[in-house]
Amino acid sequence: MSERTVTRARPVAAVAGPRERRVRFGHAALAVALMVVGALGTATLVGAASADGEYLALGRDVDYGVRLTEADLVTVRLTRAPGIDPVPAAELHRVVGAYTTMRLARGSLLTPAQITTDPVPGPGQHVVGITLGGDRLPARHPRPGDPVLLVATPDRSATAADAGPPRTWRATVTAVAGDGSSGFFGASGSRAVTVDVAVPAADAPLVATLAAADRIVLVLAGSHP
């Protein structure tokens, strides 16, 4: 009988399972704190957005520079969204008698930036009407409330040497009549727009004289200093 060699199998190590993750107490507390802060912030935002109140709105269209009366305003009840700052209805007494700083459309909410205590024209100002052809206006016609620069053009009989630097005046548009599509033509032969501008009282006579001679060009300007 031949001898058989018996090989004993070696024990196989068991497959290690996933290690249990230990959750640190500090991390858990931080997560809970963040959840609480988030919940409080959401509650505050929802509460602010859901707070009903009464505010002032325009009951009809109002032009720039108009002194507001109680008949121009209506009270509306609405949910104020964050970032919107309408005038509360309780401040009606402060709004009546104020002047508009822009043209306001019927149904729009009134905000503090849309009113001022300064009349139009202001102290020391006169309003001059200037009829301008399309070649003396920018493509985007001025609107009431726009700051503009009035530039005097040289006399046609003057030479280039006599002309010198042009005179300029800062002004504010108070009203605009026409859009250049009417049948009325200016001195230059192009369709005209009439623009009322508030200028310093001392300059009003000269500006009116130059406007009558068709020697004014209107330039849209940045905000006045």
- Give the list of residues 6+ apart from residue 59 with CB closer than 8 angstroms, or none: 71, 72, 73, 74, 106
The token duo for 186 is 């200016």
**Residue 184 pLDDT:** 45
> What is the pLDDT at residue 114?
93
Residue pLDDT, tens place only, 112-147: 999 999 888 888 999 999 999 988 999 888 999 899
Amino acid letter, residue 33: A
Predicted confidence (pLDDT) per residue in 42-54, tens digit: 544 444 444 578 9
Whether 61 and 75 have beta carbons less than 8 Å apart is answered as no
Query: Taking the domains of the chain in order of start, what are their residue ranges?
Result: 52-116, 125-220
pLDDT of residue 153: 92
Kindly list the distances between the CA atom of residue 18 and the CA atoms of 15, 21, 25, 93, 140, in Å, as whole numbers in the listed order: 10, 9, 21, 74, 72
Residue matched to tokens 């306001």:
104
* Cβ burial, residue 101 (10 Å; 0-12/13-18/19+): middle
Q: What is the pLDDT of residue 83?
A: 78
Give the fold, CATH level 3, of 52-116: Type Iii Antifreeze Protein Isoform Hplc 12 (3.90.1210)
3-state secondary structure of 175: strand
User: What is the identity of the amino acid at 178?
Assistant: G
Please compute Rg for the chain using Cα positions: 36
What is the pLDDT tens value at each position of the chain, 225 positions in all? 445 555 555 555 555 555 545 545 555 555 555 665 555 555 444 444 445 789 999 999 999 999 999 999 999 998 877 778 899 999 999 999 999 988 899 999 999 999 999 888 888 999 999 999 988 999 888 999 899 999 999 887 766 556 678 899 999 999 998 654 444 444 445 578 999 999 999 999 999 999 999 999 999 987 655
CB 172 within 8 A of CB 207: no
9 SS3 class:
coil
